[in-house]
């Protein structure tokens, strides 16, 4: 409890005591009984009540979030030029009074939704874009009274500054700004620029009237039902076009992938063919070199041919058939019968001639 409130309480108690003395004196007088010192007590009570009332009327305590405009009957201009700052102040009782103004931040909202703003019902801002489309804007203005211009606000607007200054000023600035942009710019590419333009113009206009713009919020932008339907149809068409474009791109990618796969298979076949050809060339070279080496070896040692021939024969061979007109590749050894139950016999035949190795 501050001092001003305490003095007001004491003033109220003093008046109650004063009135109580008067009632008590009247009751005692009506019963024919005297009341000693009644007049003195009544006078004392009156004096105390007047003193405390005068003090209560003269002491003013201003809260930190307030400023006080002093209306003065003793001033030639009717008010004090400087507003009262936070703290305890003394004014001339019964000749001056204080009107308090809050310097805290205040919000004025204009919305299409009922109950969100200061005005009940649809309070959105209807505006026309540069291409003639009607849009509806929801906005909030956050502001405060400039502490150094409280007296000016009181003189110009008093307590009407919200409804008669902030509201019409904001609506007019918003309409002017929107009229400079097309409907697509309002909701897409130029929305930030438009908001900055509104903030700058609104801040300048409010400052000239003693208010400080803290922030401007462009909450929502809606369209007329007809334009909203056309926008929806356009969006559907754009989505379908994008879907068709996606399908085309997908088919192109599939075709490119198939082409790359085919190209890879062809390249692999070419590489494999080249590898096979090179392998055959290398093999042919190796065979040629081997034959050349064999030929050179046979030239010096012809017996190697007979040796290779013999090594190729099966180990258990007993009979060979050779043409009768072909010369023997190997010298035939003399056959001697072995002591075995059966002997190998060579019988001449007309053709071919059998021989026993």
Contacts of 252 (CB under 8 A, 6+ apart): none
Between 296 and 148, name the one with better pLDDT: 148
pLDDT of residue 102: 94
Between 308 and 157, name the one with better pLDDT: 157
- Helix (H) / strand (E) element for 115: namely none
In the chain, domain spans: 3-102, 106-223, 239-281
Which region holds residue 283: left if phi is over 0, alpha if psi is between -120 and 50, else beta? alpha
Reported for 214-218, long-range contacts at CB under 8 A and 24+ positions apart, including other chains, are: 214/105, 214/142, 214/143, 214/144, 215/142, 216/139, 216/140, 216/141, 216/142, 216/170, 217/139, 217/140, 217/141, 217/142, 218/137, 218/138, 218/139, 218/191, 218/194
Query: Within 10 Å of residue 179's Cβ, how many Cβ atoms?
Result: 11
Give the rounded percent of residues in the chain with a pLDDT score beyond 70: 80
Between 343 and 74, name the one with better pLDDT: 74
Which region holds residue 301: left if phi is over 0, alpha if psi is between -120 and 50, else beta? beta
pLDDT, tens digit (0-9, with 9 covering 90-100), for 323-338: 666 555 555 555 455 4
pLDDT, tens digit (0-9, with 9 covering 90-100), for 154-208: 999 999 999 999 999 999 999 999 999 988 888 787 888 999 999 999 999 999 9
- Decide if pLDDT at 13 tops 90: no
Q: What tokens does 11 get?
A: 């003033």
Choice among 71-85, 109-123, 189-203, 303-317 with the minimum mean pLDDT: 303-317
- Cα separation, 66 vs 147, whole angstroms: 9
Architecture of domain 106-223: 2-Layer Sandwich (3.30)
Reported for 7-13, long-range contacts at CB under 8 A and 24+ positions apart, including other chains, are: 7/52, 7/55, 7/56, 7/59, 8/56, 10/52, 10/56, 11/49, 11/52, 11/53, 11/55, 11/56, 13/52
Nearest Cα neighbor of 100 from 154, 52, 58, 23 is 154
CB-based contact 223:128 (threshold 8 Å)? no
At which residue do the structure tokens 């041919």 appear? 305
Q: What tokens does 287 get?
A: 């065979």
pLDDT of residue 105: 95
pLDDT of residue 30: 76
pLDDT of residue 246: 82
pLDDT, tens digit (0-9, with 9 covering 90-100), for 64-75: 999 999 999 888
Q: Which residues pair with 109 in a beta bridge?
A: 140
At which residue do the structure tokens 């005692």 appear? 28
pLDDT, tens digit (0-9, with 9 covering 90-100), for 88-100: 898 998 899 999 9
Choice among 59-68, 106-115, 167-176, 294-303 with the minimum mean pLDDT: 294-303
Q: Tell me the pLDDT band of 137, cut-offs 50, 70 and 90.
A: very high
Query: Within 10 Å of residue 308's Cβ, how many Cβ atoms?
Result: 11
Q: What tokens does 126 get?
A: 């209807």
Q: Tell me the pLDDT band of 288, cut-offs 50, 70 and 90.
A: confident
pLDDT of residue 223: 82
pLDDT, tens digit (0-9, with 9 covering 90-100), for 217-274: 998 888 877 776 766 677 677 777 887 788 888 888 888 888 888 888 888 888 888 8
Query: Within 10 Å of residue 76's Cβ, how many Cβ atoms?
Result: 5
Q: Tell me the pLDDT band of 321, cut-offs 50, 70 and 90.
A: low
pLDDT of residue 356: 41
Give the rounded percent of residues in the chain with a pLDDT score beyond 90: 30
- Cα separation, 60 vs 84, whole angstroms: 9
Mean per-residue pLDDT over the chain, rounded: 81
Q: Tell me the pLDDT band of 33, cut-offs 50, 70 and 90.
A: low
């Amino acid at each position: 409890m501050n001092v001003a409130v305490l003095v007001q309480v004491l003033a109220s108690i003093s008046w109650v005591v004063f009135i109580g003395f008067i009632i008590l004196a009247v009751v005692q007088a009506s019963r024919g009984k005297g009341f000693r010192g009644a007049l003195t007590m009544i006078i004392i009570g009156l004096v105390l009540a007047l003193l405390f009332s005068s003090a209560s009327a003269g002491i003013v305590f201003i809260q930190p979030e307030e400023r006080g405009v002093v209306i003065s009957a003793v001033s030639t201009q009717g008010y004090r030029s400087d507003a009262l700052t936070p703290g305890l102040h003394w004014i001339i009782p019964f000749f001056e009074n204080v009107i308090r103004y809050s310097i805290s931040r205040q919000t004025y909202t204009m919305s299409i939704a009922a109950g969100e703003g200061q005005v009940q019902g649809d309070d959105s801002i209807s505006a026309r874009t540069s291409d003639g489309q009607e849009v509806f804007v929801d906005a909030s203005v956050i502001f405060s009274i400039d502490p150094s211009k409280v007296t000016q606000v009181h003189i110009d607007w008093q307590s009407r500054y919200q409804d008669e200054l902030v509201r019409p000023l904001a609506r007019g600035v918003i309409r002017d700004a929107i009229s400079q942009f097309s409907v697509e710019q309002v909701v897409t590419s130029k929305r930030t620029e438009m908001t900055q333009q509104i903030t700058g113009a609104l801040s300048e206009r409010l400052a000239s009237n003693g208010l400080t713009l803290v922030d401007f919020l462009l909450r929502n932008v809606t369209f007329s039902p007809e334009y909203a339907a056309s926008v929806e149809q356009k969006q559907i068409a754009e989505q379908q076009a994008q879907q068709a474009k996606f399908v085309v791109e997908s088919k192109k990618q599939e075709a490119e992938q198939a082409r790359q796969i085919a190209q890879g298979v062809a390249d692999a076949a070419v590489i494999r063919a080249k590898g096979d050809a090179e392998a055959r060339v290398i093999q042919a070279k190796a065979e040629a070199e081997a034959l050349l080496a064999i030929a050179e070896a046979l030239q010096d040692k012809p017996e190697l041919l007979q040796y290779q021939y013999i090594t190729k024969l099966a180990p258990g061979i007993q009979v060979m058939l050779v043409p009768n007109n072909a010369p023997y590749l190997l010298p035939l050894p003399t056959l001697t019968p072995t002591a075995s139950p059966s002997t190998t016999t060579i019988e001449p035949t007309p053709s071919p001639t059998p021989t026993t190795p």
